[in-house]
Amino acid sequence: MIQGKIIKKDDKHIVFELEDGQMLHWPRIPLYEDLPLETPISLMVMVGSDIEQERLRLSKYLLNEILREN
């Protein structure tokens, strides 16, 4: 996991400062509208084969949570 925080927002981008000091300019989408500056973030980088495994793991977890609530 890569840790960081939101340090700036403009009309087109949100700027994340990562723990190693790098700046990441991310396209601004409505999902981020309510996040204030200094909001902590975590990024996960995965290769293609890991993405499918993570989707399956998350799907199983969510299904189990839904079934437990009923």
The pTM (predicted TM-score) of the whole model is 0.62
How many folded domains does the chain comprise? Answer: 1
Q: What is the CA radius of gyration of the chain?
A: 16
- pLDDT tens digits, residue range 30-69? 766 788 899 999 988 888 889 999 999 999 999 999 999 8
Q: Are 16 and 5 in contact (CB under 8 A)?
A: yes
pLDDT category at 25 given cuts 50, 70, 90 is: very high
**pLDDT at position 63:** 95
Cα 42 from Cα 15, distance rounded (Å): 13
Question: In terms of residue numbers, what domain contains 20?
Answer: 2-69
**pLDDT at position 47:** 86
Cα 50 from Cα 4, distance rounded (Å): 23
